[in-house]
């Protein structure tokens, strides 16, 4: 809804939009909403599957940045922390959590706050481990979309 003249004149706001501050531009008063959600672009989610170590590893990320270097970042981490040396469930959990932190740090270094969510899902020796961050951890709709896409991937 748009603000009415009553809202702008400081009377009771009947449109439901909270006003944060007033700025003057070209001799005209402009009110800025409390949240900037209306100006925010939607960051798409991508899911990438890696099968180079004998077991599937899925990396999902919601980010506004150019993800051309995602494969390089994941493979750098994998070479540094060789998955063939995983000796137990805790090592696998540490691997997934470490990869999640590394991907988050890699893209937040480009622009802080640009990563809205990271999900690492790995299957190793009849064990599934997931490490979720951000929107994947806090928003059910993001998790539903992620896991439904993962369910659909083998059938495409």
Question: How do strand 28-33 and strand 19-25 relate by DSSP bridges?
Answer: antiparallel
Position with higher pLDDT, 82 vs 92 = 92
What is the band of 110 on the pLDDT scale with cuts at 50, 70, 90?
Answer: confident
pLDDT at 119: 95
Average pLDDT over residues 69-97: 86
Relative orientation angle of helices 70-80 and 89-108, to the nearest 10 degrees: 140
Alpha-carbon span 117 to 121, nearest angstrom: 13
Alpha-carbon span 71 to 9, nearest angstrom: 54
Task: Write the pLDDT tens digit of every residue in 14-52.
Answer: 554 444 444 445 555 555 444 444 445 567 889 999 987
Termini Cα distance of the chain: 41
Residues 61 and 15 in one domain: no
What is the band of 156 on the pLDDT scale with cuts at 50, 70, 90?
Answer: low
Residues 35 and 54 in one domain: no
Residue 122 C-alpha from the chain's centroid = 18
Task: Write the pLDDT tens digit of every residue in 123-135.
Answer: 887 889 999 998 8
Token digits of residue 51: 């099968």
Residues 55 and 114 in one domain: yes
User: Do 150 and 58 form a contact (C-beta atoms < 8 A)?
Assistant: yes
Number of domains in the chain: 2
Alpha-carbon span 114 to 107, nearest angstrom: 7
Q: In what order do the strands lie in the sheet with 45-50?
A: 45-50, 57-63, 115-124, 127-134
pLDDT at 20: 46
Other beta carbons within 10 Å of 13: 15
Boundaries of domain holding 14: 1-39
Average pLDDT over residues 147-156: 83
pLDDT at 66: 86
Q: In CATH, what number is assigned to the domain containing residue 50?
A: 3.30.479
Residues 56 and 128 in one domain: yes
């Amino acid at each position: 809804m748009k603000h009415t003249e009553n809202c702008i004149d400081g009377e009771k706001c009947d449109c439901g939009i909270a006003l944060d501050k007033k700025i003057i531009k070209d001799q005209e008063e402009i009110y800025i909403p409390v949240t900037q959600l209306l100006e925010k672009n939607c960051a798409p989610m991508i899911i990438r599957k890696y099968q180079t170590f004998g077991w599937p590893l899925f990396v999902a990320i919601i980010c506004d940045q150019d993800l051309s270097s995602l494969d390089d970042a994941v493979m750098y981490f994998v070479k540094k922390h060789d998955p063939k040396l995983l000796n137990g469930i805790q090592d696998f959990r540490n691997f997934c959590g470490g990869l999640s932190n590394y991907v988050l740090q890699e893209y937040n270094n480009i622009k802080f706050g640009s990563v809205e969510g990271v999900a690492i899902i790995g299957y190793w020796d009849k064990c599934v481990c997931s490490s979720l961050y951000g929107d994947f951890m806090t928003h059910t709709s993001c998790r539903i979309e992620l896991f439904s896409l993962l369910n659909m991937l083998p059938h495409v």
